[in-house]
Structure 1
Amino acid sequence: MKGEVHSHEESIRPYIDLIDTLRSVGIHKDLALPTIAVIGDQSSGKSSVLEALSGVALPRGTGIVTRCPLELRLKKKTSGVSWKAVLSYRDRKTEFVDSTLVGNYIETAQNEVAGRGVGICDDLITLEVTSPDVCDLTLRVPVKGQPDDIENKIKSLIMKFIEKHETINMVVVPCNIDIATTALKMVQEVDPEGKRTVAILTKPDLLDKGTEKNILNIVHNKVIPLRKGYIMVKCRGQQQIDDEIPLEEATNLERDFFQNHDYFRSLLKEDKATIKCLAVKLTQHLVDHIKKSLPQLNEKITQLWGVKNELKECGPPQEGAKQFLTEAHEILQILFFSQTLKRFNDEIKSLSSGELITEKNVFVQLRAEFKKWGDHLNRTKTSCHYIITTHFFDVVSQFFRNYSVLQSIAKIVVQRMADQLPMISLFMLKQTAEILSIDMLNLLDGANVPV
């Protein structure tokens, strides 16, 4: 099955990989890490939403279905793999390439971790899915079940996830029930201002006629305001699942539903409807949350490093502790370094876009330099077209191959050199090319480019 995807950006995956790596080495045991927790009451449509996002069928049924916290790691990979999954829990790891086996593997893992029956446990089960048809995203699904005699234990386990400020709470709420009585009520206890909560409204096809405007008021943040807002989706119903309607077809049916709906078609233009919109927004919410959390996370790891040094006086550390802290600290330092480079690169791209004519713009300064070259060339005579175009322009284009405007200017300069410069040796030509390269780099270094 295919999950919903969005256009992949190279800037997304490193942030999610960083947090996944930190969690894999166990740092989440001491520090809370940014994550998205998926919360929803029984039959809220949570499994259908996760299925649409990931393309994998999670356990369904009545009673307690998810009896252990499940971390769902989705990794988009466009080459080298069609679909692959790795299920990890405790010290076990199982790799498989058949998506239809996901439910069986998760059920087996839950039986081993929480025991058979209706027992629940807070031991984490991780399912990592790599595919060209998923979005880059990591979700954490706490336990869920019926409000029987274990209601308090279930709530306690869920609260462990959602009360942390590093957690984005994704609440799945059916449209056809009172939103104030849903899992959103529990989330409001830990996030009363709705700063880190996004709500997913499901089952819009089951609404009673005449209540559509009330739902629109909810979506537009007029009832229970949420900083990250509301998104409405229509996933496969039980009948479509029984009829084995594929997810690709269900996605088209979902869009048709909203386009033809008298009240909800406007939500498409507002980017507040469909699984595709949800996938894009969840990924962006998570990456933004990670970026905001990194400074505090780095500070906390530094504090742990200091505590480690103080503990030296109490005796040698346990085997592996030093390596763990070192790896975690190095990972964060590398990420901060990459962030600095990215900011510098973004500034350079902005200043070299050729669109804004300002004194700081690199192109303005480059044009001035090229004018000096042009004036000099106009005073010379030449004919060595082949050598120049073969060797000299190759060097120039390597430095500016991404900038079409500068390439055009470079072509003019090379043509003038080919027409006017006297015959020179290949050695002298390479020297000239190197001088030009150095001039360009010096110009960039000397430009007033903020970092």
Structure 2
Amino acid sequence: MSDMSYSDSDGDSSWSAVGLSDPKNGQYRDRRALLDTVNQLHSCGLNKRLDLPQIAVVGSQSVGKSSLIEAMSGITLPRSSGTCTRCPIECRLSKVDAPWKCEVFVRFEDARGEIRFGEPISDHTLVEDRIRRAQIAVLNPSSDPLSFLESTSLENNELSFSDNIVSVRISGAEVDDLSFVDLPGIIAAVRAGGNESDVDQVKNLVRKVIARDSCLILLVVSCDTDLENQGARSLAKQVDPNGRRTIPVLTKPDRIERGTHAGWMKLLENREERFRHPWHCVKQPNQMQLESGISHREARKSENDFFANTEPWSTLDVEIRSRLGTSALTEALGTILFDLICKTLPGIIHEVEKRLRETKDALSKLPQKIEGNPVSIVMQLLEDFKKDVSSLIDGNADAGANGLIQSFRCAKDRFRQEIFDQAPNFKPYGRSKTATRVVHDHVDASIENAEDTEPLEPTRRKDQGRVFYLEDVRKMANEAMTRELPQNFPYAIKIFYIKQSTSEWKTPMENLFKSAETMFEDKVRGLVHHHFSRFSAGSFNTEMMRLVRAHLRACSERTHQRIHEMLKLEQEEPFTVNEHYLSDYKVKYKARYERMCNPEPISSSIPASHPTPPATVVASDWASRSSATSRMHLTQAITSLTAAGLPTLTEDELVKRVRASPVSTPEGLVEIMAEVRAYYQVAFKRFVDYISMIIDYELLKQFSRTLHVAIATGIKIGEDGFKERCISLLVDDPTIVRKRDGLMQDLEVFSTAYINLQSVVTTSTMDYEDEEMEGMSS
């Protein structure tokens, strides 16, 4: 394709205002504002996240696409061997009451975003070189793009083609209002030494842009090549099979061979290759005109003269002739683009509103940017942390089962049960009687449970092997006797059983301590992370984590020492001043053991779902609840007693006397069992209370009470250089900074776009019904 350069030798580069920029159009102001808003969304790269309306110029290589772009924009595009456009070139034309100006930007898909590429240009002749250098900058993404503004080495690019964009923005009093993007021309093959993958890369680049529903496809078709051989046509049909978004335009009509116009006329007459938007046709200056320095005005006059005076163009219907020429095409493009924007505006507003809401939500989840006096900020952060620690230790009902105090309560319950399960398991009868006592023991346990809210014996012992039978206690007592009188057993027997029963308290105690320590450390570390993790780059998080660990370790050591002191007190020797408490339990256990000593209790045949009532009550109530079998046995017993010469008794009198008769028990041994078991009950309750209280007081509450001292010492509050230290602590995590800055940029973009979109008045001039056009090509 030959070079093209329009001169302004006639001193007037203006041409008639068309499209969106026609001041006579009553919708001009609304159109201008709407187009500016959509352009702004493109500038911010939102076209990657939103389906924004745009016109994409598509054509095969050497179809005159660049010449058409130059005719519409009034600038000269760079030319190179093989292909002209190696990346998308966005053209934004804006009519303003100001001198002509051109600005060039490069827009990257990565975090760099859009970058101004040099100062504004006021000289038309400098635009081509600036665009060429900008295109080289996007083809070398690893280099500083601004370095190519003055670079003399512009060869050996990293990439053959790029998805990154060169944005050219032209404004002036004589400039049309229109925006479009020129895409690289479709190539069928590469030159010798070229990269074969370039063919597919260009197709994929073009396809990705034009596949979006809101992209209008300006399909450029050259009249000097068969329609079927132009690859851009087939690519457009792939993404727009119904032709609803395609605007077809013919170029180089002066190259049509004599006698072959009929086929091209069928396109303009909409008899073949029908699209929703009808075919246009343009003619650009030929090589001779370019070399003569033709101006823009002269080029448009020459084009109009060609269509007005050359057959068959001059003989076409008026409607078809209205679609001939660059001005007619530009005007049609402006209207179609505006109407597409109007059609898609509600969806764009909805999507922008959604993104704006999502951006605000994402920002609300990030820490706010630190602003203000660094000392005050540090002190406030520390105060907030201490409050949360205090709240954690006080307990929070909303925390549920995962709360610290709730979890500690469960751990205390397990600890209490483990200590209770280690109670000495006395059996006041011989091993040979074990089988006959199981049911009786169960009955007694239920009776005792009804008498006292605290079970007298564990219901799920873990150590069934630690059982002390009557002969075990008798043997121990006899072997331990020294100078005692008969039936007086040494006090050391009781000491022995008490110490043996408390000897394994350490393990449950340690388990409770470790459980509380681990739970507390996890919760406190979570609070440190919550309050200070954002300052990882400034070591605030690390410093607080170190400080908290040291303080927790000191409290843990003190707590561990105190609970072991408590354990030593319990294991040193039996002691209590709660004599009435010990006496009450001794009476209960003695009564229980004495009942268990009775080898064949008559009451076993009598229902006993309640505590043993007085004998008179049992006697009167027995008759109504006893079974017929029990009555038969009692009758036989009374008969036997009478035959033996004893006074005749009634059934109730016999039951009453049996209940009231003393049980034959080894009094001294039962005394030992009852007192040891009673003391265990006293000591166990005292121990589980105090161990729990010590852990709560020394580990949890003491940590909170002395936290301010530990922080002041560790952070060195008030010391020289504290302000500088605060500044160094308050360095945000770079990841958070980058994310927050990106979201803040998005917030500004979406907020501005939303406000602008809401304020734009739109009126569509076209009917966008969904029905397909009859006879439209598929």
Aligned counterpart in structure 2 of residue 168 of structure 1, from 216, 229, 233: 216
Judged with a 3 Å threshold, the aligned counterparts in structure 2 of structure 1 residues 294 and 235 are, in CA distance, closer, same or farther, namely same
Of 276, 285, 310, 2:327 maps to: 276
* Mapped pair 1:134 → 2:175: yes
CA distance in structure 2 between the partners assigned to 1:338 and 1:294 by the alignment: 10
Paired with 2:317 and 2:293, the residues of 1 have a C-alpha distance of: 28
- Find the partner of 2:358 among 307, 314, 329: 307
SS at match of 2:57: strand
Contact 2:349 2:757 in 1 (8 A): no
SS at match of 1:217: helix
Indicate the structure (1 or 2) with the bigger Cα radius of gyration.
Answer: 2
| C-alpha displacement of 1:69 | 1.0
More helix by share: 2
Is residue 367 of structure 2 the alignment partner of residue 319 of structure 1?
no
Q: How many Å apart are 1:300 and its aligned residue?
A: 1.5
Secondary structure at the aligned position of 2:91 is classed as strand
Quote the offset at 1:120 in angstroms: 1.4
Q: CA RMSD in A?
A: 2.3
> Quick one: which of 205, 208, 216 aligns to 2:265?
216
Using the aligned pairs only, state the percent identity: 30
- Cα offset, 1:3, TM superposition: 6.6
Residue 289 of structure 2 corresponds to which residue in structure 1?
Answer: 240
Which one-letter code corresponds to 1:304 in the other structure?
A: R
SS at 2:62 equivalent? coil
Secondary structure (helix, strand or coil) at the match of 1:250 reads helix
User: SS in structure 1 opposite 2:300?
Assistant: helix
Looking at structure 2, the residues matched to 299 and 105 of structure 1 have their Cα atoms a distance apart, in angstroms, of: 38
Distance 2:14 2:172 in 1: 9
Distance 1:56 1:312, change over 3 A: closer
Structure 1 residue 107 displacement after superposition? 1.1
- AA at the equivalent of 1:243: S
1:295 aligned residue: 346
Q: Map 1:374-413; keep pairs closer than 5 Å.
A: none
Q: Which moved further from structure 2: 157-166 or 268-277?
A: 268-277
Secondary structure, aligned partner of 2:217:
strand
**Separation in structure 2 between the aligned mates of residue 278 and residue 268 of structure 1, nearest angstrom:** 15
Alignment of 1:53-202 (within 5 A): 53-77=72-96, 79-81=97-99, 83-90=100-107, 91-94=115-118, 95-115=120-140, 116-117=155-156, 119-144=160-185, 146=187, 147-148=189-190, 149=196, 150-182=198-230, 183-202=232-251
Name the counterpart of 1:258: 307
Pairwise CA distance, 1:312: 5.3
Query: 2:164 and 2:122 mapped to 1: Cα distance?
Result: 25
Q: What secondary structure is seen at the aligned counterpart in 2 of 1:192?
A: coil
After superposition, residues 27-38 of structure 1 pair within 5 angstroms as 27-38=46-57
Give the structure with the larger strand fraction: 1
Cα distance, 1:117 vs. partner? 4.6
- How far the C-alpha of 1:27 sits from its partner, in A, is 2.0
**2:167, 2:263 → 1: CA distance?**
38
Q: Is the 8 A contact 2:73 2:93 kept in 1?
A: yes
Tell me the residue number matched to 2:612. Answer: none
**How many Å separate the matches in 2 of 1:238 and 1:59?**
17
Task: Report how far residue 326 of structure 1 moved.
Answer: 4.9
Checking the alignment, whether the CA contact within 8 Å between 2:69 and 2:182 is kept in structure 1 is: no
Give CA-to-partner distance per residue, 1:391-433, whole Å, 9 cap, x none: xxxxxxxxxxxxxxxxxxxxxxxxxxxxxxxxxxxxxxxxxxx
Partner amino acid, structure 2, of 1:80: A
Structure 1, gaps ≥5 residues long: 347-451
Q: CA separation of 1:267/1:136 partners in 2, compared to 1, >3 Å: closer, same or farther? A: farther
Deviations 1:154-185 (A, max 9, x none): 11111111101110000111112222322111
Structure 1 residue 45, shift from structure 2 partner: 0.6
Assess, with a 3 A threshold, how the Cα gap between structure 1 residues 3 and 161 changes in structure 2: closer, same or farther.
farther
Q: Does 1:203 align with 2:255?
A: no
Note the C-alpha offset of 1:323: 5.0
Structure 2 CA distance for aligned equivalents of residues 128 and 330 of structure 1 = 20
Q: Is the 8 A contact 2:359 2:746 kept in 1?
A: no
Give runs of ≥4 in structure 1 deviating > 6 Å: none
Cα distance between partner residues in 2 of 1:49 and 1:241: 14
